């Protein structure tokens, strides 16, 4: 029979007998199945049983795996890739408020963004907050600017509005200022300042102090957080994501993980989550980690939810600190040494190569006592890494969690680093040549869009959201290399490359059937790719309506 919700696929239960005692539960045939393994095999069909791939080959080869209850999916030539794994996404935090936010992901004009806000206002109660929490930039808008306070007021005159850009800027409407009881700069948390126009008058925007300001907003209920978690992860399934490596984040106290655990416990989790714990208590980080992990050993969990160590903030003094002192390094060393001694994976946020030596010195010191190569430690971001830095990382077995945050931040980075330096940022091919394990991701959703096909396009064309080409061709990978970073590369960071990340016999059946052929679609159209069907462990978790 043909499903009414998925026209390109034909699902049928076949009555043919089988020569096998245990036939396949599901067969996908007549497609272009990209294994993304070392030999880059392409198959027509695959068979799944007990959540794993049991056969790959031609469509005719699958007949021997058909049984009375086998579900056969006719791909009608569609392309299949391994499920995408985001190496560095704040997915747990994003999901908590996802159902209560207004989203500007992928919109191309302020007009469209304001229309989205106006639509949300029409559905909201008077006085209900409307929050845009990030994942956009003015570079994606044809107008090339951010919305004004007056535009937000016109779109939502009866609601307080909060619109955040990265971690640098927030625009509030007067109703929002009133709700938060902010009357002067002295009322701003975290040292924030009012943005002033050319005439010295406040624009309605706030610069800095964004994390404590966001924390003042009303919190979703526990039920809202559970619903948001399910909705956001289903949205990730829609764009072919089957796994995330979550590095924790600001405002992520232990209690904020309860909604995720609820979804997992009720077997409603549709994305495999490997999560780290991000230090929340300044000057008490070591005590915090030791206390929280007493009943949380490394890799604790199951195939859907697993603890993946500590980071990306291990100590406050070594986070975004390009001038780390010996005292800062020693404090970090104490925690890192403990992590290595106890077998914990560690991931560390680090932006600038110029100061990366202060981090690697600590890694090397720890490694002399407790070798870290098997622990899959990694550095996140490091957009301007050099051969010398990658050589030190390779010697330690340290991987690189590389994201496309510069897609939204590209023109800003151009002013900060200069055109010549941006030609090699990030240095993807340089890292490949040095043998670094690279996992690709987005750093969503405060500073980036979660869509992996935007990230893949950015890897392949080097263009920012404004369309300006910033990265030189010498650092542009091939399509297969980019796909592998998003699959087996990220699986390596999750200690899982032997079980997922490629489509091979014996591996978990995590895959996405795509709307377009990833290997052939014009690069400028790649961001429009989405999944027609997504499987996690052989179970269909998304099917296009």
The ranges assigned to domains in the chain are 101-214, 222-528
Question: What pLDDT was estimated at residue 21?
Answer: 58
With 0-12 / 13-18 / 19 or more C-beta atoms within 10 angstroms meaning exposed / middle / buried, residue 95 is buried
CA angle 116/453/461 to nearest 5° reads 110
414, pLDDT greater than 70 = yes
Nearest to 22 by CA among 57, 54, 46, 45: 54
Collapsing DSSP to helix, strand or coil, 540 comes out as: strand
Q: 10 Å Cβ neighbour count for 291?
A: 12
Please state the rounded mean pLDDT for residues 81-103: 97
What's domain 101-214's architecture?
Roll (3.10)
Please state the rounded mean pLDDT for residues 286-309: 97
256, pLDDT greater than 70 = yes
Longest Cα–Cα distance of the chain, Å, equals 82
Please state the rounded mean pLDDT for residues 357-383: 98
Bridge-based pairing state of the strands 511-514 and 79-82? antiparallel
**Residue 13: CA count within 13 A, CB half-sphere:** 2
Strand segments (E) across 143-198: 161-165, 169-172, 193-196
> Cα separation of 271 and 435, whole Å?
29
Please state the rounded mean pLDDT for residues 467-496: 97
Strand pairing partners for 150? none
Question: What pLDDT was estimated at residue 7?
Answer: 44
Residue in the structure block whose two tokens are 């549709």: 270
pTM: predicted TM-score of the whole model, two decimal places: 0.95
> What pLDDT, in 10s, does the model give residues 488-521?
999 999 999 999 999 999 999 999 999 999 999 9
| pLDDT interval class at 19 (50, 70, 90) | very low
Question: What pLDDT was estimated at residue 29?
Answer: 98
Q: 10 Å Cβ neighbour count for 177?
A: 17
304, pLDDT greater than 50 = yes
Contact between 109 and 139 under an 8 Å Cβ cutoff? The reply is no
Question: What pLDDT was estimated at residue 283?
Answer: 96
| pLDDT interval class at 14 (50, 70, 90) | very low
Question: What pLDDT was estimated at residue 16?
Answer: 40
Contact between 161 and 173 under an 8 Å Cβ cutoff? The reply is yes
Both tokens of 519, joined, read: 């290997």
Contact between 477 and 459 under an 8 Å Cβ cutoff? The reply is yes
Q: Which CATH number fits domain 222-528: 3.20.20.140, 3.20.20.70, 3.40.50.150, 1.10.357.10?
A: 3.20.20.140
**Residue 305: CA count within 13 A, CB half-sphere:** 17
> Cα separation of 479 and 240, whole Å?
16
Question: What pLDDT was estimated at residue 424?
Answer: 95
Question: What pLDDT was estimated at residue 290?
Answer: 97
First and final C-alpha spacing in the chain: 16
With 0-12 / 13-18 / 19 or more C-beta atoms within 10 angstroms meaning exposed / middle / buried, residue 450 is buried
Least confident piece of the model among 26-35, 132-141, 192-201, 413-422: 413-422
Question: What pLDDT was estimated at residue 5?
Answer: 37
> What pLDDT, in 10s, does the model give residues 43-68?
999 999 999 999 999 999 999 999 99
| pLDDT interval class at 97 (50, 70, 90) | very high
Nearest to 455 by CA among 382, 404, 504, 399: 404
| pLDDT interval class at 9 (50, 70, 90) | low
Over the chain, what is the mean pLDDT? 95
Q: What percent of the chain has pLDDT over 90?
A: 93
Q: 10 Å Cβ neighbour count for 505?
A: 12
Question: What pLDDT was estimated at residue 410?
Answer: 81
Report the Cα 97 to chain-centroid distance in Å.
16
120, pLDDT greater than 70 = yes
């Amino acid at each position: 029979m043909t499903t009414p919700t998925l026209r390109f696929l034909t699902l049928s239960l076949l009555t043919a007998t089988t020569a096998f005692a245990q036939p396949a539960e599901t067969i996908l045939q007549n497609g272009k199945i990209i294994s993304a393994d070392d030999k880059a095999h392409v198959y027509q069909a695959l068979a799944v049983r007990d959540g794993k791939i049991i056969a790959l080959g031609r469509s005719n080869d699958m007949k021997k795996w058909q049984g009375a209850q086998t579900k056969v999916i006719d791909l009608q030539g569609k392309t299949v890739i391994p499920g995408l794994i985001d190496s560095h996404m704040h997915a747990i935090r994003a999901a908590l408020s996802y159902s209560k936010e207004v989203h500007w992901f992928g919109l191309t004009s302020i007009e469209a963004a304001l229309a989205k806000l106006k639509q949300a206002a029409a559905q909201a109660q008077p006085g209900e907050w409307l929050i845009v929490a990030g994942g956009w930039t003015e570079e994606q808008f044809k107008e090339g600017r951010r919305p004004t306070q007056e535009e937000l007021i016109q779109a939502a005159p009866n609601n307080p509005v909060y619109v955040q850009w990265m971690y640098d800027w927030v625009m509030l409407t007067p109703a929002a200022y009133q709700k938060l009881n902010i009357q002067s700069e002295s009322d701003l948390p975290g040292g924030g300042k009012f943005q002033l126009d050319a005439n010295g008058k406040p624009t309605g925007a706030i610069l800095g102090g964004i994390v404590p300001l966001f924390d003042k907003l009303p919190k979703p209920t526990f039920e809202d957080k559970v619903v948001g978690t399910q909705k956001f992860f289903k949205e990730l399934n829609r764009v072919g994501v089957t796994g995330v490596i979550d590095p924790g984040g600001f405002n992520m106290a232990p209690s904020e993980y309860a909604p995720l655990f609820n979804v997992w416990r009720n077997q409603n989790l549709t994305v495999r989550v490997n999560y780290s714990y991000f230090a929340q208590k300044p000057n008490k980080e070591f005590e915090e980690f030791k206390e929280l992990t007493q009943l949380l050993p490394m890799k604790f969990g199951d195939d859907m939810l697993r603890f993946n160590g500590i980071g990306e903030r291990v100590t406050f003094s070594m986070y975004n600190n390009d001038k780390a002192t010996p005292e800062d390094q020693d404090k970090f060393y104490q925690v890192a040494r403990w992590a290595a001694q106890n077998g914990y994976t560690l991931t560390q946020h680090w932006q600038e190569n110029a100061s990366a030596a202060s981090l690697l010195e600590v890694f090397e010191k720890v490694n002399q006592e407790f070798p870290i190569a098997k622990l899959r430690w990694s550095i996140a971001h490091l957009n301007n890494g050099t051969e010398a830095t990658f050589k030190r990382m390779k010697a330690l077995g340290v991987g690189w969690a590389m994201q496309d945050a510069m897609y939204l931040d590209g023109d800003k980075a151009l002013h900060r680093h200069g055109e010549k330096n941006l030609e090699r940022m990030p240095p993807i091919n340089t890292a490949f040549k040095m043998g670094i394990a690279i996992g690709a991701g987005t750093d969503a959703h405060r500073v980036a869009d979660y869509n992996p096909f935007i990230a893949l396009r950015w890897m392949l064309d080097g263009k920012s959201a404004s369309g300006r080409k910033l990265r030189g061709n010498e650092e542009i990978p091939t399509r297969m290399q980019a796909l592998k970073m998003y699959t087996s590369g990220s699986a390596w960071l999750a200690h899982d490359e032997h079980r997922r990340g490629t489509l091979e016999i014996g591996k978990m059946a995590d895959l996405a059937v795509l709307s377009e052929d990833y290997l052939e679609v014009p690069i400028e159209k790649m961001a429009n790719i989405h999944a027609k069907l997504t499987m996690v462990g052989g179970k269909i978790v998304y099917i296009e309506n």
